[in-house]
Amino acid sequence: MNDTDVSSASPSTLILDRLAEELPALTPEARKAATYVLENPRDVGVSTVREIAEAARVKPNTVVRMARQVGFDGYDDFRLPFREAIRQGAADFPDRARWLQDIRKSGDLGGLYADMVQTTLSNIEDSFAGISAEDLKLAAETIWAANNVFTLGVGVMNSVARNFTYLASTGMVRFHAIPRAGSTAIDDLAWAGGEDVLIAITCRPYRSEVVEAVETAQAQGVRVVAISDSPASPILRKADHGFVITCDTPQFFPSSVSIIALLETLLSFVIAVASDEIVDRVETFHDRRHRLGLYHGGAP
């Protein structure tokens, strides 16, 4: 290895970050290999160069060139930190579909329960391990300074976006969950501009309408906070603030736990960097609810 140091951090915070930074400078074929690695980092430690090349649909020497692009002598050198992570128990590679079938046939759901808990905790730990307080602070300051904040999620992420917007509305009125009923995200952003912020959320397979909305927002000067599950995600590449989360699951549905945790943390940072009036507004909001009888049991 030439100049990539992996002694003090995990591959996900050094090698993969470096690979993501180099992505635009790679040749189209090398970019295919890099994108596969970014989206399937766990495969690297257990796969040969030919297996990675076949999975990425490139030639083996393309994978070698990709490794050299980020400072390694070759693929074997590039793979070492990933193999070390496996040796230390930082990753496992069960056949999820077959394993779930075996549990179903045996009638024993204890293993599934334990795996769901472990995966949930790992998702949160892995996500926050790659996010710094400074990153959150900078994004929070951008959000607080905005005229309007649009939170975009479709499919399962729509409810996540709306939950964030609802929580923000307890002290702020300029947050808008999109797409609105009967509208499209691009229509909802029609009058957004340089003083506004778009928080966009999508994970693999990436939703076209979210990618298109981000591109439209950027063309209008809107600042973008992007949340996705890979450094190669199309919404992260040009975002003003980007956060990579882990959403692994042994089930068929995508896990949104780490996204919710990140958004709740981001909102707490927004309140922390906000002006003093935010505290009074939150208290007024909840006091009004108590007076209107929205809470069981009357006044607090």
The pTM (predicted TM-score) of the whole model is 0.69
pLDDT confidence of residue 181: 92
Cβ 85 vs Cβ 14: under 8 Å: no
Query: Tokens 């926050």 correspond to what residue?
Result: 128
pLDDT confidence of residue 96: 46
Contacts of 111 (CB under 8 A, 6+ apart): 99, 103
Contacts of 3 (CB under 8 A, 6+ apart): 71
Contacts of 182 (CB under 8 A, 6+ apart): none
Q: How many CA atoms lie within 13 A of 286 on its CB side?
A: 11
Q: Could you tell me the fold of the domain covering 133-291?
A: Rossmann fold (3.40.50)
Mean pLDDT, consecutive 10-residue stretches, the chain (300 aa), reads 43 72 88 88 82 92 90 86 60 44 57 77 90 95 96 95 93 92 96 97 95 97 97 92 91 87 95 78 70 69
3-state secondary structure of 151: strand
CA 194 to chain centre: 24
Q: Which CATH number fits domain 15-87: 3.40.50.300, 3.30.70.20, 2.60.40.10, 1.10.10.10?
A: 1.10.10.10
Q: How far apart are the first and last CA of the chain?
A: 62
d(CA 198, CA 127): 21
CA 269 to chain centre: 17
Residue 107 CB burial class (10 angstroms; 0-12, 13-18, ≥19): exposed
Domain ranges of the chain: 15-87, 133-291
pLDDT confidence of residue 1: 42
Q: Which helix (H) or strand (E) holds 241?
A: strand 241-244
Asked if domains 15-87 and 133-291 share a fold, the reply is no
pLDDT confidence of residue 184: 96
d(CA 223, CA 238): 10
CA 76 to chain centre: 29
Cβ 263 vs Cβ 154: under 8 Å: no
Residue 149 bridge partners (DSSP): 175, 197
Cβ 206 vs Cβ 228: under 8 Å: yes
pLDDT confidence of residue 10: 57
pLDDT confidence of residue 299: 55
